[in-house]
Amino acid sequence: MDSSQINLSELPQYSQWKITGYVQVVWFILILIGALATYIPNFTVVRTNFRVFLVSFTLYNIFKIAGGITSIILFHNKTFSTNVYIATYVFDSISLGSLIKCLTPFIQIMINDGFQTPQYFDRNSPLTSKDKEKLAKKNRIFKLLTVVIVVAIILSIIAATQIDFSTATPNSTSNTLFKVSSILFLACVILCTVSLIHILTINAYYIKFAILILICVPLLIVRVIYSIISSFHGIDYTSPYLLVFGDYRYYAFMVLLCEGLVAPLYLVTMNYFIYKLKQVNPPTYDASDVERADSEVHFTKDNY
């Protein structure tokens, strides 16, 4: 069927999908404003890994807003636009990858501190060669995790660009890429979960932070499961999980609600980190130590 013949206004849940788009735009604009108001004044306080979070979180909100806007445009057009639909899918995929990436800076900081002894929290003590080697090995794991997230996003984007409603048979290549992408996203969330549980056993100083972030994990898993179910149903009009054409309740509760709760939880965690960070002096490592250890932030034992 020619995509120009598709009339979205005739869909049973046309109004609900349109309202969902508006809610998404408004909610994530508020989250973005709150995030900017929180960390712009504190940007000089935070260090490398925190800034990675700030960038990832900002991009996440921007892509969620963009995805909501494209869905609104899609519903307001008199004729269905495949390109706008693809853009909505792309923004949704990139935002999911950015949301998962937001986990890694927190986990990286907490794990890198985990092998240290209490004496290490003397901020005037330089990193030993053994400490540097351990930090380098641990940081490589997070670099690999970042690569996997990027690969998953790229695969999802490639799959989205191949969406074609002009044929009755779904594009098998597109469906396969969506499946692989969603499974990679799930693998990243599981790895982050294992890391958080590991933190609870090796570093008592970060238990509060780890528990706070662990609250986000079930919500992220539900969100990724939606992508997996949707990908295995394929780009098919009959699929209840298909974006825009499916049942809006699956997207509203498994995507919008879950992400809408995770975002403020991230923001609360970031505020808690900044609050604790302001209570300690910045480290005095030399330039080589900072570069090798990715400028990790370490809190003093007295703060816990």
From the number of C-beta atoms within 10 Å of its C-beta (0-12, 13-18, 19+), residue 45 rates as: middle
List of residues 6+ apart from 137 with CB closer than 8 A: none
> Would the pTM of this model clear 0.85, i.e. be above it?
no
* DSSP H helix total and E strand total for the chain: 11, 0
Q: What is the pLDDT of residues 171-224, one digit of tens each?
A: 788 889 999 999 999 999 999 998 888 877 776 677 888 888 889 999 999 999
- CATH code, domain with 111: 1.20.1070
Q: Which two tokens stand for residue 41?
A: 């004044």
Q: Which two tokens stand for residue 182?
A: 């969603």
Q: What is the pLDDT of residues 97-113, one digit of tens each?
A: 999 999 888 888 777 66
In the chain, what is the straight-line distance between the N-terminal and C-terminal CA atoms, in Å? 63
> Among candidates 214, 218, 220, which has minimal Cα distance to 259?
220
pLDDT, tens digit only, all 304 positions of the chain: 455 567 777 778 888 999 999 999 999 999 999 988 887 777 766 666 677 888 889 999 999 999 999 999 988 887 788 889 999 999 999 999 999 999 888 888 777 665 443 333 344 455 566 666 666 666 777 888 889 999 999 999 999 988 876 665 667 888 899 999 999 999 999 999 988 888 777 766 778 888 888 899 999 999 999 999 999 988 877 788 988 888 999 999 999 999 999 999 999 888 887 777 666 544 433 334 444 444 444 444 444 4
SS3 47: coil
Provide the pLDDT for residue 124: 45
Domain total of the chain: 1
In which domain, by residue range, is 277 found? 3-303
List of residues 6+ apart from 15 with CB closer than 8 A: none
